[in-house]
Structure 1
Amino acid sequence: MSRRPAVLGGPPLLADPLPMTRPTIVADDELFGHFGAIFDSGMLTNGPAVAEFERQVAAYLRVDDVIAVSSCTTGLMLVLRCLSASGSVILPSFTFMASGHAVRWNDLRPRFADCEPDTFTLDPQAVRNCSGDDVSVVLGVHTFGVPSDADELAQAAAARGAELIFDAAHGLGGRYRDGTRIGSKGLAEVFSLSPTKALSTGEGGLIATNDPGLAAELRLARNYGNPGDYDSRMIGLNARMTELAAAIGLRNLPLLDATLDRRRRLAGRYAETLATLPVRLQRVPDGTTPVYKDFTVLVTDEEFGLSRDQLAAALAAEGVSTRTYFDPPLHRQRAYTESAAQLPVTEMITRKCLTLPLYSHMPFDLVDRVCEAMALAYAHRHEIAATMGDER
């Protein structure tokens, strides 16, 4: 390549910096008309839009109940509260902090288990091997929108006498190997509708379950535990979704499958173009359908010639934003200093993973430019490494 990388003094590939992600939301006359009707009704919460959104998502997922909440985090908190869980919860350390925070907010002890080195999802064998006889819940995570091995996790949880639930923040619209949608496994699965997700309501969450008793208790719990007579039956939260958020969800839910199809094509473009470079892609288990909430690669010094952080710096100089999910992992975060977990796979992934820009309406040519920037860094890897020193 004749062009010199920007990190070595050349002009950047992108004049306008490329963000990691952007929300994709249709906001048109139909949506604004719905907003107007909500304002005219005077009901900004506990109204018909939330109820209809729950009904439509339940039909989409083919589950009995969906409970709309203010966020995935509050959803996880309330599921654990309504389970009356005690003791400890097995979960991956390679996950967003909300997974662990929901455990700790319920005065439960997190027991961190390792993830699989290729899918980055919770390893069922690690669940079986995790120490402790007080485990009441196993919390799986569909990391970056790749479906966990729910059946194996269910067997591992059952062997311990524990309930299985999922932090499905990244997973809305994905499918398991048996063709069922994410949302249909375990006792409950909890989704996020934050701005980085394929379906966003600004902020919000959804709890999917086929357990009618749990669904009824969750509806109570999201409203302070108050059934309406101000005699609270449990210690709940204000975790209600607003009518305006539900209206956004109702307008955009019919577009979700097309949105996800485009994300998969963008991910396919990445995979095809990066095939000539020595980076490793997250493995999608055969027969499953991923969401590609993120597109993440593993960068190894030995194969690429640059560390993950050196490559990230080179891409930043070209105008390409990246993110190093989830570094540090939970068991090394200061809020979890009591953890003494030894998780070699998690440690390896957190040192080497790099998430590239991806959003649903991202132009395909920008994928090509990101890949061009990576190829440029690889072509000049020795010079870049010498310039940056041994910070690997």
Structure 2
Amino acid sequence: MITNSNTVREFERRAASYLNVEEAVAMSSCTLGLILTMKALGIEGEVIVPSFTFSATGHAVYWAGARPVFVDIDENTWNISVESIKDAISPDTGAILAVHIFGNPADVEALEKIARDINVPLIFDAAHAFGASVGAKRVGGFGTAEVFSLSPTKLLTGGEGGLVATNDASLAQRLRLLRNYGDSGNYDCFMPGLNARMNELSAAIAVEGLSLVDSEIAARESLAEIYRSKLGRIPGIHFQHVAKGNQHSFKDFTIAVEPGEFGLSRDELYELLLKENINTKKYFYPPLHWQTAYRDLPKRSTSLEKTEWLSTHVLTIPLYSRLKREGINRIADVITEIHENATGKERS
């Protein structure tokens, strides 16, 4: 068997143990995991989702047959804003889809309370967040379900793949059928599903990677501290806030650039770093509500001011353990020099 067999089941078992959840259901991608989770829960109507996220978050809502309602972010954590969610709730609200952006855990307690109050499922796009935690509890056990990505850029990878974590055994059972067209084995599909099966090779890669997640996060956190120490001295450089007691996964390290203080815009910094062979990403620009795919979506009165500011000022800079301290120091020094040249300041 080359798909959805013994190694997949072993990965699911080990992942559930690591995340301390009852069920972990392997998928061929995070996007399909999100789509099938929403379909399995029977979600209809509107799904509240942040606009500051990767496009797949919004696309999953669309392909699940619901309508995304984009809301703003918290200006400090860059995660979905609880107050913005409250403003967007309507009689048609069918679910809340939150994101642990860049691997920074969202305000799970407040989000779970809102979902309980309005009696809708709370799903987390946890694509960036494998290995993150809120206090002593791993990301994976919050809300109705949390969906991880195992694509090549993630801390835990299967080459490609996804994983749905949940404490709802009935949901997990439906998901295992839906990833196989909705077929239990007798060709009488209980509902229309898809081919979202994880292959055995991806599962084998992920099984081996599980033991490396915590050490990779520790290594990245150590390197991120160098960035914070060096770049924190530069006017106009702002960092994502991580709540006390939470563990960021450090899937990415992202800064926000205030041009008036830094001396250059985000886009100008991007181009100058590229000339130094330092590749960066404008994660996430444009935000979903500015993208062509969603431009004609009916707008709500909910303000997206913070999303629009951040998406035009944000820059993700390299962070992975193979860079080591020398690489991180070089990137920080180049950014410092760019700032000094732009403002006419000399390094002290």
- TM-score w.r.t. structure 2 length? 0.96
Unpaired runs of 5+ in structure 1? 1-42, 384-392
Calculate percent identity across the aligned residue pairs. 45
- Which residue matches 1:361? 322
Cα deviation for residue 157 of structure 1 reads 1.9
2:312 match: secondary structure = helix
Structure 2 counterpart of 1:91: 49
17, 23, 32: which one pairs with 1:74?
32
1:155-304 equivalences in 2 (<5 Å): 155-177=113-135, 179-278=136-235, 279-304=237-262
Question: Hey, what does 2:15 align to over in structure 1?
Answer: 57
Aligned partner of 1:38 in structure 2 is none
Q: Is the 8 A contact 2:58 2:68 kept in 1?
A: yes
Q: Give SS of 2:139's match.
A: coil
Does structure 2 retain, via aligned residues, the 8 Å contact 1:127–1:157?
A: no
Whole-angstrom CA distance in 2 between matches of 1:158 and 1:252: 35
The residue aligned with 1:375 is 336
How many angstroms apart in 1 are the aligned matches of 2:69 and 2:22?
A: 31
Secondary structure of 2:323's match? Answer: coil
SS at match of 2:94: strand
Aligned partner letter, 1:375: T
Higher RCO (C-alpha 8 Å, min separation 6): 1
CA distance in 2, matches of 1:361, 1:254: 17
* CA offset digits 1:112-163 (Å, max 9, x no partner): 1100011110011111111522101000100000000011011122222211
Tell me the equivalent position of 1:348.
309
Distance 1:98 1:360 in 2: 26
Partner Cα distance (1:82, 1:264) in 2:
36
Q: Which deviates more from structure 2 when the two are superposed, residues 246-255 or residues 63-72?
A: 246-255
Stretches of structure 2 lacking an aligned partner (at least 5 in a row): none
Aligned residues of 1:173 and 1:256 also touching (Cα < 8 A): yes
Instruction: Report the secondary structure of 1:363's partner residue.
Output: helix
Match in the other structure for 2:94: 136
- Find the counterpart in structure 2 of residue 118 from structure 1: 76
Q: CA deviation at 1:382?
A: 4.4
Could you report, residue by residue, the CA deviation over 1:336-390 in whole angstroms, capped at 9, with x for unpaired residues?
012325400000100111100112322211101111110110011148xxxxxxx
Paired AA for residue 380 in structure 1 = N
Tell me, in whole angstroms, the C-alpha distance in 2 between the residues paired with 1:163 and 1:251.
33
Q: Give the Cα separation in 2 of the matches to 1:137 and 1:337.
A: 22
Structure with the greater alpha carbon radius of gyration = 1
SS in structure 2 opposite 1:206?
A: strand
Residues 198 and 360 in structure 1, CA contact (< 8 A), matched pair in contact too: no
Whole-Å Cα distance in 1 between the matches of residues 323 and 152 of structure 2?
15
Query: What secondary structure sits across from 2:246 in the alignment?
Result: coil
Question: Is the aligned partner of 1:148 residue 2:148?
Answer: no
Provide the aligned length of Structure 1 versus Structure 2: 340
Residue 160 of structure 2 aligns to which amino acid in structure 1?
A: E
Show CA shifts across 1:57-105 (max 9, x none): 0000110000000000000000000010111000100000110001000
Distance 2:334 2:149 in 1: 31
Match of 2:336, SS state, is helix
